[in-house]
Amino acid sequence: MEDYTFTENELEKGRLLFAAECTFMLSVVKIPDLPPFGRPEICFAGRSNVGKSSLINALTGRKGLAKTSNTPGRTQCLNFFNVDNRLNLVDMPGYGYAEAPKNLVKEWQGLIRDYLLGRPTLQRVFVLIDSRHGIKENDRAMMKMLDECAVSYQIVLTKGDKISKAAQDKLCTEVTEISKKHPAAHPFVHKTSSEKMLGFDELRAEIGKLC
Ligand SMILES: Nc1nc2c(ncn2[C@@H]2O[C@H](COP(=O)(O)OP(=O)(O)OP(=O)(O)O)[C@@H](O)[C@H]2O)c(=O)[nH]1
Ligand SMILES: [Mg+2]
């Protein structure tokens, strides 16, 4: 995947997409409340506190668009954002949050599975992995579910500013090898830091290809 690059045109298309208007649409806690199918959609999944909401803010260049917090479990529903009437972004509740009440966890899992299975406009799920922790058991479970639901997904490493470049490169190679073994996974792994705004030109270009 070393030769996977983005052309000037793709980078420009991604930049323009996110330079346009991005607005909050709605929060969904049950399937009947999902917005009707329409625009292509991408979503962000990952363990609680991995940085999903921060990544949406960095991607769109809008600090308070998605609510972020130090307290795990901040995002408890599917939050939809409209990018220039061309694309929906979906911020998902995090998984693996130890203190979450069991009944709530079951509800979220049900909601996420039903959403993944019943959303033909879903173009890709970006599965976020904390660069300090790598792929954990519940990330593997998420990847398995995505393989089973035949939903295209791609790994994005977050919080790259928290580890050395060498450590991040090593993790990236490992995660790429894991991705290659999963049928529904895109083998190119994105490296990001929302804190330092790194990796977003490429991620915007990637997303620009999907709409
Ligand atoms: N250093 C650093 N901190 C980050 C980065 N991204 C997110 N954080 C911090 O990590 C914490 C969690 O970020 P969120 O974006 O709320 O995480 P989340 O995945 O949306 O969490 P839930 O909604 O609970 O699932 C916050 O304190 C962020 O400031 C990053 O790139 N670098
Ligand atoms: Mg969140």
C-beta of 168 in contact with ligand 1 (< 6 A): no
According to the model, what pLDDT value does residue 103 have?
80
Report the SS3 class of residue 200. helix
| Ligand 2 centroid from CA 75, angstroms | 4
Give whole-number Cα distances, 78 to 53, 61, 160, in Å: 11, 20, 25
According to the model, what pLDDT value does residue 50 have?
96
Distance CA 191, CA 62 (A): 20
| Ligand 2 centroid from CA 166, angstroms | 28
Model pTM score? 0.95
According to the model, what pLDDT value does residue 70 have?
76
- Here the tokens at position 86 are 């061309």
Q: Of the residues 54, 69, 161, which should be mutated to test ligand 1's pocket, given the most ligand atoms within 8 Å of the CB? A: 54
Atom of ligand 1 nearest to the CA of 50: 19
By the 10 Å C-beta count (0-12 exposed, 13-18 middle, 19+ buried), 70 is classed as exposed
C-beta of 123 in contact with ligand 1 (< 6 A): no
Report the SS3 class of residue 143. helix
Q: Which helix (H) or strand (E) holds 191?
A: strand 185-191
Query: Tens of pLDDT along the chain (211 residues)?
Result: 557 899 999 999 999 999 999 999 999 988 999 999 999 999 999 999 999 999 999 999 998 898 887 776 666 789 999 999 999 999 998 888 767 778 877 877 888 889 999 999 999 999 999 999 999 999 999 999 999 989 999 999 999 999 999 999 999 999 999 999 999 999 999 999 999 999 999 999 999 999 9
According to the model, what pLDDT value does residue 74 have?
64
According to the model, what pLDDT value does residue 98 have?
67
Nearest Cα to 193, choosing from 59, 34, 82, 1? 59
SS3 of the chain: helix, strand, coil, percent, to 5: 40, 25, 40
Q: Which residue has the tokens 């070393």?
A: 2
CATH value of 8-208 in 1.10.520.10, 3.40.50.300, 3.20.10.10, 1.10.1510.10: 3.40.50.300
According to the model, what pLDDT value does residue 75 have?
67
Distance CA 204, CA 10 (A): 9
Question: What strand order describes the sheet that includes 87-91?
Answer: 22-28, 78-83, 87-91, 41-46, 122-130, 153-158, 185-191
| Ligand 1 centroid from CA 51, angstroms | 3
According to the model, what pLDDT value does residue 73 have?
67
Is the Cβ–Cβ distance between 23 and 107 less than 8 Å?
A: no
